[in-house]
């Protein structure tokens, strides 16, 4: 068996606030040498670990801001988020749901705790990924994919081990609903105590997992506790995870986009000139309009 070995296990970096509604640990591009290039096409990973928000009449979150050159993928584990964007996309992301927003040529959006959930408060736990786009697609039209948990492909594991929910790509014969510009596998493994699951991705794909609940053992020897990120080497194809207790694990693997990455704030392009153009287009109102 061609084992994909663990390169590092990273504890969550110190949390910081995005707006007033998201308390996140920034794994990518954070410490641990996880620059955008290392996990490309996953060029940002913000993790709002479980955090209890008090009840609030005014929903907390992030006001109108622009993006260009990539996609944002928001996965809700606890709590609810309401999203609106300038291309007409929007809706409520409930627990277990995913929002896949393609900013591409340019979009304005805002994200807040859902109004009714906000009035109650409670545990909030989310992941937001930024997925890079190849140069040929960076200026394509924005689009929006809402994927409810009920719509996800679910692979039931043998021996009552648990379930794998496929967001994008595939797990064995089960396919994800999300359409992607480059090959990407994104899935949640919900494992019962003692449950095992094996995964197989091409050796050159950038591959990592994030432990959201419980503790797991990777390849029978590496322990990964809650809120830790596991990065795999770009060699070998197969790895296994086993739940020491009931566990929830986000698995991501994607083919690298081998093109220059030039990020600046909310824009990720291939050249400095394209970044300057993005700012110019934004200031000229070419990203549309969205009320704050």
The answer to whether residue 268 sits within a structural domain is no
90 found inside a domain: yes
Tens digit of pLDDT at every position of the chain (292 positions): 699 999 999 999 999 999 999 999 999 997 666 789 999 999 999 999 999 999 999 999 999 999 999 999 999 999 999 988 888 888 899 999 999 999 999 999 999 999 999 999 999 999 999 999 999 999 999 999 999 999 999 999 999 999 999 999 999 999 999 999 999 999 999 999 999 999 999 999 999 999 999 999 999 999 999 999 999 999 999 999 999 999 999 999 999 999 999 999 999 999 999 999 999 999 999 998 888 7
Any domain includes 272 = no
Do the domain assignments include residue 267? no
Domain extent, residue 20, equals 6-254
Q: Are 275 and 281 in contact (CB under 8 A)?
A: no
Inside any domain, residue 263: no
Q: What is the CATH number of the domain that holds 170?
A: 2.60.120.10
Q: Is residue 286 part of a domain?
A: no
* Domain-embedded: residue 64: yes
Domain count, the chain: 1
Considering the domain boundaries, does residue 287 fall inside one? no
């Amino acid at each position: 068996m061609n084992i994909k070995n663990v390169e590092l296990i990273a504890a969550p970096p110190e949390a910081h606030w995005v707006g007033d509604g998201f308390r996140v640990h920034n794994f990518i591009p954070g410490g641990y040498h996880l620059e955008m290039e290392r996990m490309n096409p996953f060029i940002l990973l913000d993790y709002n670990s479980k955090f209890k928000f008090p009840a609030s009449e005014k929903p907390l979150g992030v006001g109108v801001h622009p993006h260009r050159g990539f996609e944002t993928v928001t996965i809700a584990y606890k709590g609810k988020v309401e999203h609106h964007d300038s291309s007409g996309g929007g809706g409520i992301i409930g627990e277990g749901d995913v929002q896949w927003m393609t900013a591409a040529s340019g979009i304005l959006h805002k994200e807040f705790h859902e109004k009714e959930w906000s009035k109650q408060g409670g545990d909030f736990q989310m992941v937001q990924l930024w997925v890079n786009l190849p140069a040929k697609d960076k200026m394509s039209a924005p689009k929006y994919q809402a994927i409810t948990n009920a719509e996800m492909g679910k692979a039931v594991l043998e021996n009552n081990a648990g379930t794998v929910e496929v967001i994008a790509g595939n797990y064995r014969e089960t396919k994800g609903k999300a359409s992607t510009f480059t090959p990407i596998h994104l899935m949640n493994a919900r494992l019962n105590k003692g449950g095992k699951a094996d995964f197989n991705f091409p050796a050159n794909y950038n591959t990592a997992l994030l432990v959201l609940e419980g503790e797991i053992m990777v390849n029978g020897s590496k322990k990964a506790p809650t809120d830790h990120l596991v990065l795999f080497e770009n060699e070998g194809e197969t790895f296994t995870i086993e739940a020491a207790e009931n566990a929830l694990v986000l698995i991501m693997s994607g083919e690298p986009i081998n093109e220059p990455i030039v990020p600046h704030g909310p824009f990720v392009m291939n050249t400095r000139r394209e970044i300057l153009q993005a700012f110019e287009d934004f200031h000229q109102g070419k990203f549309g309009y969205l009320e704050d």
